[in-house]
Structure 1
Amino acid sequence: MRIRSAVLTLLAGSLTLAGCGSNPDAPVGNLGLPGWVMQPEVEDGLAETACVPFSGHLSIDKQQATAMARSGIAQQISVKVKAMDKVYNRRTDTAGGRDIGANFESVSKQVTERSLTGTKATKTDIFDIDRKRQLCTMVTLEPEKTKAVFENILADSGRQLDPQDEAVLYEEFRAAKAQQELEKELSR
């Protein structure tokens, strides 16, 4: 009977934790802010949240937070492209030759600027952070637009890839490894 009770307790606890993990509005971390603020994400897309001091001018504060979050998405794209470029160079080195021409990084800035017009503010709210009111906005680049960013970078680079290499590079572009490199660069 005790074992059954313990198993039920563990199962209930697991379900509670799983439920919290899937709710972007559930508080996360010591600040008690929702997940979309602390760990912004959109499935197979890009997301970033920025917070600014709330001045009482909602539209101005929202514009500033949105611009900062868009800048964060641009930085994510840049880091992902750097990781993708490293993988491509490694693959061409092992295939017996180097590709001559534009690298992905050289075209990523232009593509990123064009792509940011596809971002949208998906959540906005006001929170007390360290006893100061902050307006936070989450900006996302949806999956189909994220794929389009990748395709535009490939097209603008002028590189001809076989489908297998393209699939590998797209996975690298989407990979958590690129996100880890972004976090490492931000912590410098």
Structure 2
Amino acid sequence: MKKLLVITSSMLLLAACGSTPKSQSTPLADNDAIPSWVFLPTSDTGLASSSCVAWGNNMSAARAQAIANAKADMALQIETRAKVMDKTLESQKQSGTEVSNHSSFTQVSKQIAEQSLVGAIPKEIAFARIDNQKQLCALVTMDNTQPIFDKLIKEAGVKLDPKAEAVLYKEFRTTKVTAELDAELKANKL
């Protein structure tokens, strides 16, 4: 009786394991996996963005589209960071810190973002299967964000003391803007 119970339990366990649903994302081959940068693009020294497009058997068209989409996302990151800079300066004004009249960083960010994307370069290109569809993915990075920040300050006409500028640049570079960027991306996708 014990043997029958053990065998039955083992068979039920094996049957349960066999009914586990498959993952939505699968590798293209046994040795191919979706690179981590597809889902979490990062750069230690600047900005990073990734994008995947459906594979249509045309490498140059898919590559160009994936890179263009990643650059568009990077431009959105720059604009969102400019909004954070505006909020930071607004809070400094409310706390009594002297900040001269200036244009909004948000107002000048779109043009600066477009100009700055010339410095964004593709770092990685890879295939992945996402939602059971073959995709070509691109990772684009911009290593130095200081020129973008400096141009935002200049074009907005902001006069800051070095300490305030250092704090603002830290805000510009940190991941604090990630939540606002995510919210902005969701709002634009809806």
**Cα distance change of structure 1 residues 38 and 96 upon mapping to structure 2, 3 Å threshold:** closer
Matched with 2:136 is 135
1:51 aligns with 2:52: yes
**Cα distance change of structure 1 residues 60 and 161 upon mapping to structure 2, 3 Å threshold:** same
Matched with 1:183 is 182
Matched with 2:61 is 60
Matched with 1:123 is 124
1:104 aligns with 2:105: yes
- 2:174 is aligned with what amino acid? A
Matched with 2:76 is 75
Tell me if the contact between 1:92 and 1:99 (Cα under 8 Å) persists in the aligned partners: no
Matches within 5 A, 1:1-80: 31=25, 33-80=34-81
**Cα distance change of structure 1 residues 30 and 148 upon mapping to structure 2, 3 Å threshold:** farther
Tell me if the contact between 1:80 and 1:179 (Cα under 8 Å) persists in the aligned partners: no
Same amino acid, percent of matched pairs: 35
Task: Indicate the RMSD between aligned Cα atoms, in angstroms.
Answer: 1.7
Matched with 1:171 is 170
Q: Partners in 1 of 2:24 and 2:171 — Cα distance?
A: 32
Determine helix, strand or coil for the equivalent of 2:81. Answer: helix
Larger radius of gyration: 2
Q: Partners in 2 of 1:123 and 1:58 — Cα distance?
A: 14
- 2:173 is aligned with what amino acid? R
**Cα distance change of structure 1 residues 54 and 96 upon mapping to structure 2, 3 Å threshold:** closer
- 1:183 is aligned with what amino acid? D
Q: Which stretches in structure 1 are left out of the alignment for 5+ residues? A: 1-28
Matched with 2:11 is none
Tell me if the contact between 2:84 and 2:177 (Cα under 8 Å) persists in the aligned partners: yes
Q: Which stretches in structure 2 are left out of the alignment for 5+ residues? A: 1-22, 26-32
TM-fit CA distance, 1:101: 2.7
Q: Partners in 2 of 1:125 and 1:101 — Cα distance?
A: 44
- 1:138 is aligned with what amino acid? L
Q: How many residues end up aligned between the 2 structures?
A: 158
Tell me if the contact between 1:53 and 1:134 (Cα under 8 Å) persists in the aligned partners: yes
1:161 aligns with 2:160: yes
- 1:37 is aligned with what amino acid? V
- 1:137 is aligned with what amino acid? A
Tell me if the contact between 2:99 and 2:160 (Cα under 8 Å) persists in the aligned partners: no
- With normalisation by structure 2, the TM-score equals 0.78
Determine helix, strand or coil for the equivalent of 1:187. Answer: helix
Determine helix, strand or coil for the equivalent of 2:42. Answer: coil
- With normalisation by structure 1, the TM-score equals 0.79
TM-fit CA distance, 1:62: 0.3
- 2:165 is aligned with what amino acid? E
TM-fit CA distance, 1:100: 2.2
- 1:87 is aligned with what amino acid? T
